Every structure is written in structure tokens, then in C-alpha cells.
């Protein structure tokens, strides 16, 4: 004796289900089975070897729906692939946003450096005009100008 | 000959600190103001004890960039 427990697949994505049904329809028909799919007002009805199944649209995903064998497998694969694709898309968007912010920061720092440099050049010109000799040094990101004159 | 010194520090954020040493009396403030008039706006100034002595030896001013 064996015991097999399996939970049924909750249907969240109707598009994935339609694709799975279409794919299975071709394969079942190739193997001589009769498959009919109808898209009704309330849901998708499909018949396999005379037995009728229905999956309702907009079904609350907490409900569980019985899907027949291969259809369930293909649906699950498609849905997992869709989730993965969405996850990758979100990751890419996040990376792009990060790169955009880094670029913005780099430009801002560049602009600040340019302003500081212009300010320094103006100061050097002015102190020289006032008769000072200038010695420049950089320490911990700070620029120091030591200006000396003898009177 | 007497040495007059102005020490300018440009901080990372672009603000500056200017310190004078060995410049007598009010001249030290005039000297710094004349140096910075077209470059930056003075935000605050601090006169050290030495400023009030007959011969000024040290004075410090903190300033902002001129936009």
C-alpha cells in the first residue's frame, strides 16, 4: 500500500492557464484524445475524454481548482516562469535605478569639484594680487591655501 | 620684516574657513573682506582675544559660497 498526498494547484493566472490548455489540447489531440475548450462567461470549460472541467475567471487564489494531470504541470511551469520573469524584471529595474542614482551622484560630485576648483583659482588670483605667495595642499578632502607676505 | 599670513581651507562641501595671522588691528578683517568680496559671502566671523590686543595676531572667519 502506498499513500500519496498532493495539494491542488491554486489558479492565479488565467493567461497561463489558457496557454497550458492550448498546449495540452494539441498534444492530447495528437494522441487521439478528444479535447474541447470553451471560454465561457464565468470561466474556462474544457472537456477531456467526455469529462468536463471548469476553471472560473477571477477565482480567488486561495481556492483550489482541480486540473487534469499534464495541464496542471504545464500551468505550474508557465506560472513559475512568469514569476521568475517578473522577478528578473524587477531586479533589472532596481539595478537601473541604482545606476541612475549613482550617475546622478557622480555628476553632482563632479559639479561640486568644479565649483571648488573655480573658487580656489579665484582665491589664488586674488591673494596674489594682494601680494601674497601661495602654497597649496590637500588633506582629508580639504584644500588648504597658505598665503604669506612680508611687510 | 613682519610676516602676514592668511590660511584658507576649502571644505569638502565647498564652504571655506579663512584665518589671518600677524595682521594688525582692523586691517585683518579688511584684508579678508577684500580678498573674498567677489568670491564668497561671509556667514560668521570670530574675533579672537588677540584681536583686542594692540597688535592683532589672529582672526578667524567662516564663510559660504557665493551663488
* pLDDT score at B46: 80
The nearest CA of chain A is from the CA of B21 a distance in Å of: 9
* pLDDT score at A107: 96
* pLDDT score at A68: 64
* pLDDT score at A136: 94
Angle B23-B24-B26 from CA coordinates, rounded to 5°: 105
Q: Tell me chain B's radius of gyration from C-alpha atoms.
A: 12
- For the stretch A67-84, pLDDT in tens is 567 778 888 899 999 999
Q: How many CB pairs under 8 A join A and B?
A: 64
The ipTM assigned to this model is: 0.77
Q: With 50 as the cut, is the pLDDT of residue B56 above it?
A: no
Q: Do A150 and B3 touch (CB under 8 A)?
A: yes
Can you say how many angstroms the Cα of residue A104 is from the centroid of all Cα atoms in its chain? Answer: 21
pLDDT band at A63 (very low <50, low <70, confident <90, very high): very low
The nearest CA of chain A is from the CA of B49 a distance in Å of: 22
* Tally of CB atoms within 10 A around A50: 7
Q: With 90 as the cut, is the pLDDT of residue A146 above it?
A: yes
- For the stretch A101-142, pLDDT in tens is 999 999 999 999 998 899 899 999 999 998 999 999 998 889
Q: With 50 as the cut, is the pLDDT of residue A46 above it?
A: yes
Can you say how many angstroms the Cα of residue A133 is from the centroid of all Cα atoms in its chain? Answer: 58
Q: With 50 as the cut, is the pLDDT of residue B48 above it?
A: yes
> And the C-alpha cell for A97?
535605478
Comparison of pLDDT for A61 and A116, the residue scoring more:
A116
DSSP class of residue B39 equals: T
Angle A17-A23-A26 from CA coordinates, rounded to 5°: 140
pLDDT band at B61 (very low <50, low <70, confident <90, very high): low
pLDDT band at A94 (very low <50, low <70, confident <90, very high): very high
Q: Do B8 and A126 touch (CB under 8 A)?
A: no
* pLDDT score at A23: 86
Question: Which candidate in A112, A131, A148 is best for mutational testing of the B interface (most B CBs within 10 A)?
Answer: A148
The interface residues of chain A toward chain B in range 132-151, judged by CB-CB distance below 8 A, are: 132, 141-151
Q: Do B10 and A150 touch (CB under 8 A)?
A: no
Comparison of pLDDT for A109 and B51, the residue scoring more:
A109
> And the C-alpha cell for B24?
594688525
* pLDDT score at B47: 76
Q: Which of A40-54, B5-19, B52-66 has the highest mean pLDDT?
A: B5-19
Instruction: Please state, for a pLDDT cut of 90, what percent of chain A lies above it.
Output: 43
Amino acid at each position: 500500500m502506498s499513500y500519496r498526498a498532493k495539494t491542488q494547484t491554486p489558479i492565479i493566472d488565467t493567461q497561463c492557464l489558457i496557454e497550458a490548455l492550448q498546449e495540452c489540447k494539441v498534444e492530447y489531440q495528437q494522441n487521439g484524445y478528444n479535447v474541447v475548450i470553451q471560454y465561457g462567461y464565468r470561466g474556462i470549460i474544457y472537456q477531456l475524454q467526455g469529462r468536463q472541467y471548469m476553471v472560473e475567471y477571477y477565482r480567488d487564489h486561495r481556492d483550489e481548482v482541480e486540473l487534469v494531470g499534464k495541464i496542471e504541470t504545464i500551468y505550474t511551469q508557465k506560472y513559475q516562469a512568469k514569476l521568475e520573469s517578473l522577478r528578473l524584471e524587477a531586479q533589472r529595474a532596481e539595478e537601473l535605478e541604482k545606476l541612475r542614482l549613482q550617475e546622478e551622484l557622480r555628476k553632482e560630485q563632479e559639479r561640486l569639484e568644479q565649483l571648488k576648483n573655480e573658487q580656489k583659482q579665484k582665491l589664488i588670483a586674488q591673494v596674489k594680487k594682494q601680494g601674497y605667495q601661495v602654497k597649496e595642499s590637500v588633506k582629508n578632502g580639504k584644500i588648504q591655501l597658505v598665503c604669506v607676505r612680508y611687510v | 620684516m613682519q610676516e602676514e599670513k592668511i590660511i584658507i581651507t576649502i571644505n569638502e562641501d565647498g564652504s571655506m574657513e579663512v584665518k589671518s595671522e600677524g595682521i594688525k588691528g582692523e586691517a585683518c578683517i579688511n584684508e579678508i573682506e577684500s580678498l573674498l568680496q567677489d568670491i564668497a559671502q561671509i556667514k560668521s566671523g570670530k574675533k579672537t582675544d588677540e584681536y583686542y590686543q594692540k597688535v592683532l595676531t589672529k582672526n578667524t572667519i567662516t564663510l559660504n559660497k557665493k551663488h
